[in-house]
């Protein structure tokens, strides 16, 4: 595995160091397994000291929790953005596209980790309410009328789970992240059908 490009800690901004730690830890957890990876190995992967690593995260569990929390904050920001606008076909298309892109950008590596580390994830992740399914429920209510049939609500929920399902389907294949994003959009387009327009992905940053 190619090591993350080593940049002296003094030249890294705090937010960038935090993101680098998350990325390196996820790669190691997925490749070697969560239990088999130590904080020391994460620090070595980045070329930083253990003290610098512990400055940002007190444990492996804290790294995984931070990824979950960052992704939930991103979904909340998207939901707040949509809630403040009139529901139109254009908004529905843009919202679905943004949701899928956000899940792919922030959540895809985490989903791959989860697929490879079920047992570890169960012990680390919070069990309280307010997780992904609560956000999916809010998104469904934004996209459909309150009296929408159950079958329509399920179709929207399945579309919102598109990246998650694509990651599971890609296990053991040569699929890249771009492949997963593409198939998630195609599946969502088929699912939403006549309910809302096809997802429109945001322009690359």
Q: What is the mean pLDDT of residues 187-205?
A: 87
CA distances (Å), origin 153, targets 129, 138, 160? 20, 11, 11
Lowest mean pLDDT among 56-65, 97-106, 120-129: 120-129
Write down the pLDDT at residue 78: 96
The tens digit of pLDDT for each residue in 89-122 reads 999 999 999 999 888 876 667 777 776 676 666 6
- d(CA 200, CA 95) in angstroms, rounded, equals 8
Decide: 120 and 96 in contact? Cβ < 8 Å.
no
CB half-sphere exposure, 112, CA atoms < 13 A: 22
pTM as predicted: 0.79
Please give the CATH topology (third level) of the domain spanning 9-56. Arc Repressor Mutant, subunit A (1.10.10)
pLDDT at 127 over 80: no
| Angstrom distance (rounded) from CA 13 to CA 186 | 38
Integer Cα distance of 38 and 138 in angstroms: 37
DSSP assignment of 52-79: HHHHH-SSHHHHHHHHHHHHHHHHHHHH
What residue segments make up the domains of the chain, in order of their start?
9-56, 60-192
């Amino acid at each position: 595995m190619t090591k993350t490009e080593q940049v002296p800690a003094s030249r890294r901004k705090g937010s960038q160091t935090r993101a680098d730690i998350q990325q390196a830890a996820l790669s190691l957890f997925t490749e070697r397994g969560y239990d088999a990876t130590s904080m020391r190995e994460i620090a070595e992967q980045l070329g930083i000291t253990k003290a610098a690593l512990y400055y940002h995260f007190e444990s492996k569990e804290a790294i995984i929790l931070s990824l979950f929390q960052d992704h939930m904050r991103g979904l909340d920001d998207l939901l707040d953005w949509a809630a403040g606008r009139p529901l139109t076909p254009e908004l529905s298309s843009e919202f679905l596209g943004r949701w899928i892109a956000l899940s792919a950008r922030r959540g895809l590596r985490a989903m791959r980790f989860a697929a490879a580390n079920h047992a570890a994830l169960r012990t680390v992740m919070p069990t309280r309410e307010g997780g992904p399914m609560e956000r999916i429920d809010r998104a469904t209510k934004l996209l459909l009328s309150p009296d929408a049939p159950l079958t329509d609500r399920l179709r929207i929920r399945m579309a919102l789970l598109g990246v998650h399902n694509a990651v599971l389907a890609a296990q053991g294949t040569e699929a890249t992240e771009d492949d997963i994003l593409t198939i998630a959009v195609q599946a969502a387009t088929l699912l939403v059908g006549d309910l809302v327009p096809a997802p429109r992905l945001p322009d690359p940053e």
